[in-house]
Each structure stands twice: as structure tokens, then as C-alpha cells.
């Protein structure tokens, strides 16, 4: 049914695009790319296409892209993503021989136009965003299709089980599936997708280098903050800031608040001021003064700074019904991890962290405040325990590279 409808859904996607443009989620200069119309010619030689939906996925594949380019000097990499934010970040980080485009809508015409222009030698989907029409069109051109760093939430696993025939039909299109965690491996097996083409390799995010930062800025901020205790609330969503601010009432130091969507910073600043906190915004150039209680880090690409400054971090999207966000980055930088119970997107890694004391579940402002106010030594013990989880099962990048080279002529 989906494949049949993909012949006539262009008007639906057109309305979606107009709405996204109106709210600033679509780049007007790149609208044509969503219909498969490229803004540049295809480079000569072999081309490997990665689709990584948003910021987390695109950042996770960059080490893999680097080792691929090193292994094959004749290869160009095309990365597609869905969000404007991911496109902006990639614009500043892409190495030579890498091209970025916005992923086309999953219609027959857009998919065919995209594939006709780029003619990838290998097509790779990352994590969880799959497009059935594009999968079918790539198969019709005999393009090897790989599903790397595969991950599904518990909710998606339940949906797969309910519609096992449809899920199996989509996933059977792949020539190889590298799975990042046992729960996803089991979910695939439960619907009949198993055998030698499904391999449990671990997560690409475990192999990723720690987030970088401007060392001069880090030194400056440390000097500005002084010996005040610092904690971070990262990737927060609507509804979570109220809980975070209530928890901060019992904390004597500085809160660095990093909203998942920086365009909400104005409303968040109003919340902070209403709660009685002296507040500064990074995007406005505000300084951290001795009496600043909340620093809103409403910029992109600086999370490496904030995790390095904070002895403990709450990772958002976990008290709101979002499914949680990536805990690897905080763990890599030695910041103890706190999270809510809504972590279905990263259930396996959070389970592993919680079991070894590398992370702590909080349920409300009181438990969050108690966890933030633990002695610094307790936070350091949590960070050390998290490191053991990160080191267990690393190697997904090497496994992914091996698979890509196997299918790349």
C-alpha cells in the first residue's frame, strides 16, 4: 500500500515542505534537493551514499567516513540528512571528497531523480530512518543496500511485531544489516529477519572521538566560572526546563542549560527569570557574572564545551515523552549522567550504564536535585563506571568499513 501511494503523495510532501518553510525548518535555498534535484554534478569515480537523518546520526558516521576515504582514495561520499540543523553542522565539518544533500521525499519521481543523478555504488542507511520507496528504487538499479548501526526503540519493536509482514518486507531489501545492540537484534529475529546478513557489531557512537571544543574558550570559561560547582542540562525539551529549574533551586552553583532546539531560548530565559535566577544567553554574547545562576547555551556545535565544564549532566528528552538522547558524549568527557525514565531510543545503553552505576535515573525535580547535589567524588565514580561501558563492544567502525568495502567495486 505504501509503495502504491508513493506514486501520488507528492502533494502531501509539498504541503509538508511549505509548512516546514514557514516555521524555519526548511532552507529555501535547498528546497529542490527534497525533490531529487541536485545543486551540483556527480563527481567521477565510485560514490558511497550515507543517509543519516539528523544531527546525532550524521555526527556518528563522520569517523567511518574518514576511514573509508583513507582506505579508498578514489571514492566520494554523499551524505543526506533530513534536518536543517544537521545540514548546518555538516557544512562546517565535511572533509574533502564529501558532499551533502537534503534527502529527497519518498515519492517515485523524487527517488528516481535522485538516484539517476547520483548513481551511488553503495547505499547505506544509518540507525532508524528507512524509506521504503527509495529502498525499492535502489534495488531496481542493483545498488547494494546496507543498514548500518541499526537501532529501533521498544515502541518500534512492538510495531514491527504487530505488522511483522510489512516490517520484514522492508528490511529484507537490505544486503547486510549491522546492529548496534542486542535488543534490536532480537527484534529483527522476532519478525524473521536473521541469518548471516544480520550481525551484532556494537554502536558507531562508541567509536566516535569525544566532542571537540575551542580550548581557548574552555580555559576562559573555567577562569570566569572559578571554583563554583557546575552542572549541565543538555538537549532539553519543553516541560523539562521547569523540572530542571526547580531542581536547581537547591544547587549553589551554575546551571548550563542547553535546549535541544535553540529557537526556544527566549521562552526558556523567561522561565529562568520567573524562577528568580540571574540568567545569561550565549547567543546574545552575555557574560557569566559572579551572580549568574543559569547560562543558556543556545548555540549549535558546542556541547563539547558544556560537558567538559560540568561534573554532572542531565541528558534531556528523558523526562519528556521523547525517548531520550545520546549519553555517549557526556560519558566520553567525564560528566556523570542523569536521565529520566523515557529513554526508549537508547534503552540498551542506558540499561548498561545504570547497572554499573555509570548513570542514575531521576523522576522529578526532587530526585534530580538530590542527584545533582551528590558529592563530587560520587559523580567522578559514576563517570569512571560509564567509561567501562563505552569500552565494551567498541569496534563497530571497523566492522562497518569491512562491509562497505566488500560491496564497493
Cell numbers at residue 167, please? 516490517
Residue 397 CB partners (closer than 8 Å, separation 6+): 63, 64, 67, 204, 207
Q: Which of 57, 127, 181, 241 is catalytic?
A: 57
The packing angle between helices 10-22 and 108-118, to 10°, is 80
d(CA 240, CA 24): 23
Tens digit of pLDDT for each residue in 249-280? 999 999 999 999 999 999 999 999 999 999 99
45-92 pLDDT, tens per residue?
Answer: 999 999 988 777 887 888 899 999 999 999 999 999 988 888 887 887
CATH class of 215-391: alpha beta
CB 77 within 8 A of CB 50: yes
Residue 245 pLDDT grade (very low, low, confident, very high; cuts 50, 70, 90)? very high
Whether the pLDDT of residue 356 is over 90: the answer is yes
Average per-residue pLDDT for the chain: 92
Q: What is the CATH number of domain 2-202+394-407?
A: 3.40.50.11720
pLDDT given for residue 154 in this prediction:
81
Contact of 171 with 151, CB cutoff 8 Å: no
Nearest to 325 by CA among 54, 51, 26: 54
Set of cell numbers at residue 137: 528504487
Answer yes or no: 57 catalytic: yes
CA distance 205 to 58: 11
Domain ranges of the chain: 2-202+394-407, 215-391
Same fold, 2-202+394-407 and 215-391: yes
Q: What is the pLDDT of residue 393?
A: 57
Cell numbers representing residue 17 in the block: 515542505
Band (pLDDT 50/70/90 cuts) for residue 390 is: confident
Residue burial 331-359, b: 16+ Cβ < 10 Å; e: rest: bbbbbbbbbbeebbbbbbbbebbbeeebb
> What grid cell was written down for 149?
548501526
Q: Does the pLDDT at position 29 exceed 60?
A: yes
The predicted structure's pLDDT at residue 394 = 61
Query: 265 vs 93, which has greater pLDDT?
Result: 265
Grid look-up 567521477 returns 44
pLDDT, tens only, 281-310: 999 999 999 999 999 999 988 999 999 999
Sign of CA dihedral 119, 125, 129, 135: positive
Amino acid at each position: 500500500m505504501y509503495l502504491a501511494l508513493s506514486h501520488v503523495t507528492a502533494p502531501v510532501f509539498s504541503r509538508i515542505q511549505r509548512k516546514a518553510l514557514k516555521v524555519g525548518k526548511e532552507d529555501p535555498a535547498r528546497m529542490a534537493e527534497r525533490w531529487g534535484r541536485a545543486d551540483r554534478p556527480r563527481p567521477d569515480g565510485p560514490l558511497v551514499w550515507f543517509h543519516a537523518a539528523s544531527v546525532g546520526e550524521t555526527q556518528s558516521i563522520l569517523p567511518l567516513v574518514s576511514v573509508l576515504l583513507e582506505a579508498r582514495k578514489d571514492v566520494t561520499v554523499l551524505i543526506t540528512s533530513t534536518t536543517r540543523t544537521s545540514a548546518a553542522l555538516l557544512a562546517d565539518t565535511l572533509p574533502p571528497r564529501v558532499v551533502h544533500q537534503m534527502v529527497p521525499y519518498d515519492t517515485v519521481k523524487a527517488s528516481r531523480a535522485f538516484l539517476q543523478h547520483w548513481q551511488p555504488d553503495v547505499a547505506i542507511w544509518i540507525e532508524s530512518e528507512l524509506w521504503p520507496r527509495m529502498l525499492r528504487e535502489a534495488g531496481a538499479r542493483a545498488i547494494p543496500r546496507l543498514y548500518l548501526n541499526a537501532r529501533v526503540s521498544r515502541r518500534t519493536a512492538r510495531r514491527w511485531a504487530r505488522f511483522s509482514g510489512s516490517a520484514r518486507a522492508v528490511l529484507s531489501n537490505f544486503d547486510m544489516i549491522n546492529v548496534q545492540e542486542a535488543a534490536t537484534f532480537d527484534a529483527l529475529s522476532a519478525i524473521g529477519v536473521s541469518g548471516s546478513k544480520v550481525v551484532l557489531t556494537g554502536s558507531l557512537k562508541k567509536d566516535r572521538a569525544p566532542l571537540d571544543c575551542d580550548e581557548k574558550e574552555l580555559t576562559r570559561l573555567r577562569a570566569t566560572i572559578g571554583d563554583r560547582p557546575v552542572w549541565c542540562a543538555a538537549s532539553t525539551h519543553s516541560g523539562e526546563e521547569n523540572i530542571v529549574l526547580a531542581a536547581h533551586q537547591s544547587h549553589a552553583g551554575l546551571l548550563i542549560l542547553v535546549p535541544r532546539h535553540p529557537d526556544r531560548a527566549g521562552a526558556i530565559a523567561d522561565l529562568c527569570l520567573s524562577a528568580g535566577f540571574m540568567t545569561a544567553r550565549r547567543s546574545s554574547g552575555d557574560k557569566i557574572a559572579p551572580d549568574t545562576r543559569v547560562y543558556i547555551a543556545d548555540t549549535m556545535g558546542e556541547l563539547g564545551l558544556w560537558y567538559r565544564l560540568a561534573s554532572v549532566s542531565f541528558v534531556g528528552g528523558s523526562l519528556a515523552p521523547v525517548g531520550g538522547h545520546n549519553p555517549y558524549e557526556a560519558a566520553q568527557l567525564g560528566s556523570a549522567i542523569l536521565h529520566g525514565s523515557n529513554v526508549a531510543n537508547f534503552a540498551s545503553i542506558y540499561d548498561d550504564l545504570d547497572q554499573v552505576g555509570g548513570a542514575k535515573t531521576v523522576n522529578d525535580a526532587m530526585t534530580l536535585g538530590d542527584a545533582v547535589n551528590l558529592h563530587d567524588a560520587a559523580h567522578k565514580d559514576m563517570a569512571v563506571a560509564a567509561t567501562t561501558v563505552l569500552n565494551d563492544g567498541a569496534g563497530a567502525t571497523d566492522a562497518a568499513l569491512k562491509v562497505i568495502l566488500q560491496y564497493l567495486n
